[in-house]
Amino acid sequence: MRKKTVRKRSIVVRKSKKKAPVFSGKLVRFSIITFLILLILGIGYHYRNGLAYYFSFKSNKILSEATEAKRISDVRNFQVLEKHEGKSIGLDVSEYQGKIHWSYVDTLEKKYPLDFVFIRATVGKDRKDRQFNRNWLGAKENKMIRGAYHYYRPNENSLEQAALFIKTVTLRKGDLPPILDIERLPKNQSLDSLKVGLKRWLKAVESHYGVKPIIYTGEKYYDDFLKEEFSNYLFWIANYNFYREEIEDDWLFWQFTEKASIPGIKGNVDVNIYNGDLQQLQYITVE
């Protein structure tokens, strides 16, 4: 009797295909591109007024990379100025602006009158700004409210610096109070010693002119080193960042750009906003 051969069926195990992850590479790239497009559109919408203004009035110029960067800055400047309608606008200058033709210094963007100017007078304990006399007289003849500032060097004697400023600057009725410009940290002394020096300069200058000086500095420097200990002084704050569009309530002046174009001045100029109108600005001048 022949035996039957029983063939065993081979069982084929089929591997199930893995489902593609929800966040595949293509989807991630698509999400990133979509986000960037929305971000650009959002920025464009936010700055629509400034963009419209500059593309309508300046689009006929051939743009270099430098000009294009300048235009981006101009768009922000216009946006900031638009948000501060009614505030008094001014500039600050030094020898770096060369010889200024003061009779042409009148408006910013042919729209915003320039009411005041801060003029650098002295640097450290032994240097007078080379254009101070010319600028000081020119601003007065141009009927601008003027103020003089001293660039403070942390590693030099504070009283000698105050003496140089007092010797150089004569304030008249209608001028702004004296200004102390502090931007750097000391190399050879402690922060406490720096603050002592600043207070000595401020007291010496106040004693001479009979008016409390204003302090100029950057926003971070102000927040980190000066805000609490010098809270009895008024501040002129510099911040050019794109995100900053409005002046803070506790700032007397805001230097919001270093890249403005002003008639009568070659190159870029710093522009400032006073936290009030022209009448309020006149109220804080020397009597």
- pTM of whole model > 0.75? yes
Judge if 46 and 104 occupy the same domain. Answer: no
Active site residues: 92, 183
Average pLDDT per block of 10 residues along the chain, 287 residues long: 50 52 66 74 54 41 48 78 95 97 93 96 98 98 98 97 98 98 92 96 98 97 96 97 91 96 94 98 96
Count: domains in the chain: 2
Provide the pLDDT for residue 56: 38
Structure-token pair, residue 261:
């174009």
Q: How many CB atoms lie within 10 A of CB 203?
A: 15
Provide the pLDDT for residue 181: 98
Judge if 148 and 32 occupy the same domain. Answer: no
Provide the pLDDT for residue 42: 61
pLDDT digits (tens, 9 = 90+) for 110-125: 889 999 999 999 999 9
Provide the pLDDT for residue 29: 76
Judge if 31 and 89 occupy the same domain. Answer: no
Judge if 48 and 157 occupy the same domain. Answer: no
Provide the pLDDT for residue 59: 40
Quote the domain boundaries for residue 197.
Answer: 66-283
Judge if 133 and 234 occupy the same domain. Answer: yes
Phi, psi for 163 (deg, rounded to 5):
-65, -40
Judge if 36 and 93 occupy the same domain. Answer: no
Provide the pLDDT for residue 264: 96
